[in-house]
Each structure stands twice: as C-alpha cells, then as structure tokens.
Amino acid sequence: MKVLVAIDESEESFYALQWTVNELLGYSPAEEHAVSAVTLLHVYPPFQPFIYPAGPGTHLVYATPVVLHSVNKAQREKAASILSRALTICTEKNATAETLIMEGDAKDKICEMADELQVDLVVMGSRGHGAIKRALLGSVSSYCAHNLHCPVLIVKLPPGEGKPSSST
C-alpha cells in the first residue's frame, strides 16, 4: 500500500504523520495491505510578484528578479525544514519515506500527486477551522476527500491537545 501524507507547518499535520507512522506502518494484517511506501508532500503557495500600492493614481508594482529569487529560496528552505522535521519522525520509527516539494494550490497539488503516484491512501491533518473560516478559505481536506479517487484519512488532534502557545 502506498500512502501520501500532506505536511505543512501545522502541528495538526505533524500529528497526522505521527499517527500514520504509529498506526499504519506497524500494522499489516495481510501482505497486500502492508504499507510499502510513504511519500511526504509539502506544497507552498506561489509568490505573487506584484504589489498593490496604496493611494490613488499609483500603478501596480512588480517585484524585481532579485526579490523573486530571494522569496523562492526562502520558501524552499522553509519547505526543506518542514520535511526534515517530518523525516525525523519517520526515521525515529525506522520508516523510510520520500519527500516532495511542490509550488501551487495545496488542494490541487495534493490531488494531482495522489493520482500521479497512484497512492492507495492520503493522510492529512485537520486544522479545525470554524464554519466562517472554512467558508471563506475553503478546506483542503474537504476538497481532497471529495475529489480524490482513493480514501482520504483526516486525522484530528485529540481533545485537549490544542496548538502549543507561542512564546516567541
């Protein structure tokens, strides 16, 4: 069985990966159901190379190539850091995984890669946005659950394990 785990910077996605490693990788009721491959996918949004200036009579301003390069480099470094943390979770449990970094809309890229890799299961965390945020922002997990041709497992944090407070 091939499993795709969608990873972002949220604790919910890391919990989903931890759950996958603990529950799916150690469980093989029959050889055909044993997890044979885990792919960790991180998707970062494309950088919009223009700035809307404030005030009347001003024009759209485009970022310079140097700015574009710097932003792209920073996004890729952040993605590499996120996947490095995810790989650490896998290696602690002796699980091998491959990593993929893509640029684009997360819901579209997750569906695209799940189809392309012909995975048997997609695992993702649930952010638990309220109804208003979900209506305005959309839900990546809901979109994937409705549009993928394979099962989608949405893992929620257990009650009481909310996001850690940031003291930075």
- pLDDT tens, residue by residue, 4-50: 999 999 999 999 999 999 888 765 555 555 666 799 999 999 887 77
Q: What is the pLDDT of residues 112-153, one digit of tens each?
A: 999 999 999 999 998 765 555 555 546 898 899 999 999 999
In the DSSP assignment, the letter for residue 1 is -
Count CA within 13 A, CB hemisphere, residue 33. Answer: 7
Q: What is the mean pLDDT of the chain?
A: 83
pTM for the model: 0.81
How many residues comprise the chain? Answer: 168
How far out from the chain centre does Cα 8 lie?
A: 4
